[in-house]
Amino acid sequence: LDKKGAKLLFQIFTEREECKATAVATNSPFAEWDKTFGDPRLCAAIADRITFRCTLIQTGTESYRFRITEAERRS
């Protein structure tokens, strides 16, 4: 994201905080988010907003779609 996009996303998370449920899906662990958002402080603020009183569900690194595709190829 460019800086403007990252700030807009931060604003959305801030406005939804403690008001509405928000689901976030990503292939990147938190440690790599600074590459996406560019600004380490903004990245930390976004992570802070979305992890406050949250439930994290980690599904692992194996792709569900890839597993299905491989099973279909073997059939």
- Within 10 angstroms of residue 10's Cβ, the number of other Cβ atoms is 19
Give the chain's mean pLDDT. Answer: 86
Convert the pLDDT of each residue in 18-40 to its tens digit: 888 888 888 888 888 888 888 88
pLDDT of res. 25: 86
Q: Domain ranges for the chain, please list them.
A: 3-74
pLDDT of res. 69: 87
Is the pLDDT at 62 greater than 80? The verdict is no
Question: How many alpha carbons fall within 13 Å on the CB side of residue 38?
Answer: 9
- Band of the pLDDT at 60, cuts 50, 70, 90? confident
